Amino acid sequence: MSESSTRAETAAALLERSLSRGRLAHGYLFLGDDIDVLEDAALRLAQTLNCAHPLRRGETGIPLEACGICNPCQRILHRNHPDVSWVRPEMKSRVISVDQIRAVIDRVNLRSSESAYKVAVFSSADRMNTFAANAFLKTLEEPPAGSVLILLSTEADRIPDTLLSRCQRLSFASGTVRVDETVAAWVGQFATLAEPASPPLSGRYQLLGTLLNSLAGAREAIEEQFTAASPLSRHVDAEANQRERWEEELAASIEAEYRRRRSQFAAGLAAWLRDVWMQTLGGPIELSFLPGLAGPTQRVAARLTPVEARSNLDSWEGTQRLLHTNAQEALVFEVGLLNLKL
């Protein structure tokens, strides 16, 4: 069985457990590598909740398994059920617009016409523009009774933190991390410096400096790119209130893209730490990140216990969570790197 299949089954099992205990969330975030897989999972959840003849029910009476053949199940399958809405990026702009969000919010707030639950699925939710995300926030904070909002994303680091924090996450990912050359080079440097039996403390500060310099360069490039694309540079005679809106949108876009970029560095190191942990458990040499690092990965794993390696992974996940707060960026990375047992 492939790792992606295993993860999908694990996510489905966790979801079923929540349903069986009557702990249905109003907001879900399905994460993965393949948007089609995520859409299929969302479709199955929508069918399960609104099936006319469910095969199984949980302790609280909530359906656990759809029959797949009743009228509601078939209409949901063919995307023509009145109580199940699908939102996708517009064809030309490739973004989910504020008008799309407002339209689906109106539908979700209407009384259900024939089903137990109103379901709205946002495919490629990371494509919401700033105004769309802001318009969606209040509904996600206070969803109408009997509604379930499902966000699907293969790039969760593009989704605003305000939305992420209000969703229950389920991962359907394969475990493979896709990063660019700069991030790969930094993680490779980290693994190489960590390889000696007694890695010097100065090496971690060297990595911290490299990371912060890379992030500073990334922010500068993002500001230059987004400013050039902003209507501010093309409509210098626009009215003051319009220019103010554009300035706010530009600042928000720059910050969102920078946070996404920063998350790539943190996610890259998390993937390598996961590989180290898997090696301590005696797993096969199937690295999720940078196959060329097999040597350093094995040598670091050889001197760590599974508990220590797992502790590193948990510690760095804590660092990643702190990056979504107002904590000082440099301090978060410094403490995170120093806390690793290598």
Whether residue 270 is found in the same domain as residue 121:
no
Whether residue 97 is found in the same domain as residue 229:
no
Domain termination site, one of 171, 189, 223: 171
Banded pLDDT at 178 (limits 50, 70, 90)? low
Distance CA 219, CA 215 (A): 6
In a domain, 24, yes or no: yes
In a domain, 332, yes or no: yes
Distance CA 123, CA 3 (A): 23
In a domain, 126, yes or no: yes
Greater pLDDT, 318 or 64: 318
| 161 CB-side CA count, 13 A | 15
Quick one: average pLDDT of 236-240? 81
Whether residue 147 is found in the same domain as residue 117:
yes
Whether residue 124 is found in the same domain as residue 263:
no
Task: List helix spans (H) across 176-282.
Answer: 181-194, 201-229, 240-280
Whether residue 26 is found in the same domain as residue 85:
yes
In a domain, 176, yes or no: no
CATH code: domain of residue 14? 3.40.50.300
Domain termination site, one of 171, 192, 214: 171
Whether residue 210 is found in the same domain as residue 133:
no
Farthest-apart Cα atoms in the chain, separation? 66
pTM over cut 0.85: no
Whether residue 112 is found in the same domain as residue 197:
no
Q: What is the pLDDT of residues 109-119, one digit of tens each?
A: 888 777 788 99
In a domain, 333, yes or no: yes
pLDDT at 217 over 60: yes
Total count of domains within the chain: 2
Whether residue 242 is found in the same domain as residue 272:
yes
- pLDDT at position 150: 94
> Which span out of 62-71, 75-84, 273-282 was modeled with the highest average pLDDT?
75-84
142: burial class by Cβ within 10 Å (0-12, 13-18, 19+)?
exposed
Whether residue 20 is found in the same domain as residue 134:
yes
In a domain, 56, yes or no: yes
Whether residue 138 is found in the same domain as residue 199:
no
Quick one: average pLDDT of 37-45? 90
Whether residue 276 is found in the same domain as residue 334:
yes
Q: Going by C-beta distance under 8 Å and a sequence separation of 6 or more, which residues neighbour residue 237?
A: none
Banded pLDDT at 6 (limits 50, 70, 90)? very low
Distance CA 305, CA 242 (A): 59
Q: In a 3-state reduction of DSSP, which class is residue 163?
A: helix
Residue span of the structural domain in which 64 resides: 3-171
Whether residue 273 is found in the same domain as residue 148:
no
Domain termination site, one of 123, 152, 171: 171
- pLDDT at position 119: 93
